[in-house]
Structure 1
Amino acid sequence: MTITLHHGDLPARPEGLSSIAVDTEAMGLVKGRDRLCLVQLSSGDGTAELVQVAVGQREAPNLSAIMADPAVEKLFHFARFDMALIAATFGVMPAPVYCTKIASKLARTYTDRHGLKDLSRELVGEELSKREQSSDWGAPHLTDAQKAYAASDVLHLHRIRAALDAILAREARAELAARIFAFLPTRVELDLVGWPDTDIFAHS
């Protein structure tokens, strides 16, 4: 495993990508209050690129170019949260996207355990530690433990996605999943403009 930490942006936009795993770390879980602190990326080759976001930073051209590139699929776990953070911070909505949490809920109907730790253990045999999950991600200097934790959230997403895709295909739910993923940017936009908890399709 190779982890590289960058400050502010990627030094260059990687070429030849077709998909990239993405995760974020923030000061908390409340949209509009808690700022984006870190963006993690992995192309699935055992390496992870970490981009530390400064207080008040609103531009990251190379990172934003990847998020907006229609030829690069972005793999998330709980995409709705990460996409909103990225869009609110840099003004770019990630697309196209794939969400392993949504895929798991569609595919693994035999369980209600859809966390990344559960998926990693069951589908690819990797044990993830969540020890650093609640640490201070806004600190100017991240510890080695924080960096290792952040990287672990993206290093296995490609293999998890492949395992979930096999179940979705077997259960004839792959096309439904694809349509849900295509709708995610709209769902995130609703979150950002004031409808985070309202079922806008409901009768009342």
Structure 2
Amino acid sequence: MDVQLHRGDLPADFRADGPVAIDTETMGLSPARDRLCLIQLRTAGGQTHFVQFENRHYDAPRLCALLADREVLKIFHFARFDVAVLNFFLGATVGPIWCTKIASKLVRTYTDRHSLKELTREILGVELQKQEQSSDWGAATLTQAQLDYAAGDVLHLHALKDHLQAMLQREGRMNLAQACFDFLPVRAQLDLAGWAEQDIFAH
């Protein structure tokens, strides 16, 4: 797999040729405690780029410009977490957003299994290897197994998005999905501000 590893920011010659699939690797699930270590991006043309951050240095203007570019769709799986992390560490405003996990929950109502591994298995017939999910992403030098795992997390997002979008349109739920995608930056801000576990819409 063709993977380019960059330190601290995207290269000046990076060009998005359509929607970009994005994922993040952190030291844990609490942005206030666990730092952002790696961002994976895969272009529609099939190029995979990693941006690695060291020692909490997060000055990445080219990456932030891409994340905020309204002409480039960003595809995530569980965007709620990634968008919050990108905002917390980079100060990035992310959009527009497409989330395969939200789409799956809205249209694959015949199951309660909505992980990336389950989606790729059912929809694409691909078995993802997840052994490196809980590993030391803060290491200065990542192992080949970590790099392969990280690349796999963005490898299939374009195909999953296309399949799930067709299902949403078939079931008449695309408008509802789009409204959820549009709300994600606000949901991420609520998480960061302390309302991660509370449903503010409840009575």
TM-score band (shorter)? over 0.9
Contact 1:94 1:185 in 2 (8 A): yes
Task: Look up the match of 1:87.
Answer: 87
Query: What SS does the aligned partner of 2:9 have?
Result: coil
Contact 2:17 2:44 in 1 (8 A): no
Letter of the 1:146 partner, please give it. Q
Partners of 2:3 and 2:121 in 1: CA distance: 22
Answer with 187-196 or 34-43: which moved more.
Answer: 187-196
Deviation of 1:55 after TM superposition, in Å, equals 1.6
Query: What SS does the aligned partner of 1:186 have?
Result: helix
Deviation of 1:196 after TM superposition, in Å, equals 1.2
Aligned residues: CA RMSD: 1.1
Deviation of 1:201 after TM superposition, in Å, equals 1.4
Partners of 1:194 and 1:38 in 2: CA distance: 24
Extract unaligned runs of 5+ from structure 2: none
Task: Look up the match of 1:51.
Answer: 51
Task: Look up the match of 1:156.
Answer: 156
Instruction: Decide whether aligned partners of structure 1 residues 171 and 162 sit closer, same or farther in structure 2, where only a CA change above 3 A counts.
Output: same
Task: Look up the match of 1:133.
Answer: 133
Instruction: Decide whether aligned partners of structure 1 residues 121 and 106 sit closer, same or farther in structure 2, where only a CA change above 3 A counts.
Output: same
Task: Look up the match of 1:183.
Answer: 183
Q: How does 1:1-204 map to 2 (within 5 A)?
A: 1-12=1-12, 14-203=14-203
Deviation of 1:45 after TM superposition, in Å, equals 3.1
Deviation of 1:11 after TM superposition, in Å, equals 1.0
Answer with 134-143 or 190-199: which moved more.
Answer: 190-199
Deviation of 1:136 after TM superposition, in Å, equals 0.3
Query: What SS does the aligned partner of 2:83 have?
Result: helix
Contact 1:13 1:65 in 2 (8 A): no
Contact 2:16 2:43 in 1 (8 A): no
Q: Deviations over 1:45-75 (max 9, x none)?
A: 3331011011221211111111011111110
Partners of 2:191 and 2:24 in 1: CA distance: 17
Partners of 1:182 and 1:4 in 2: CA distance: 30
Partners of 1:54 and 1:143 in 2: CA distance: 16
Partners of 1:6 and 1:186 in 2: CA distance: 30
Extract unaligned runs of 5+ from structure 1: none
Q: Deviations over 1:107-137 (max 9, x none)?
A: 1001111000111111122211001111100
Deviation of 1:16 after TM superposition, in Å, equals 4.9
Letter of the 1:45 partner, please give it. G
Query: What SS does the aligned partner of 1:51 have?
Result: strand
Deviation of 1:14 after TM superposition, in Å, equals 2.8
Query: What SS does the aligned partner of 2:20 have?
Result: strand
Q: Deviations over 1:29-53 (max 9, x none)?
A: 1231111000000013333101101
Partners of 1:119 and 1:47 in 2: CA distance: 22
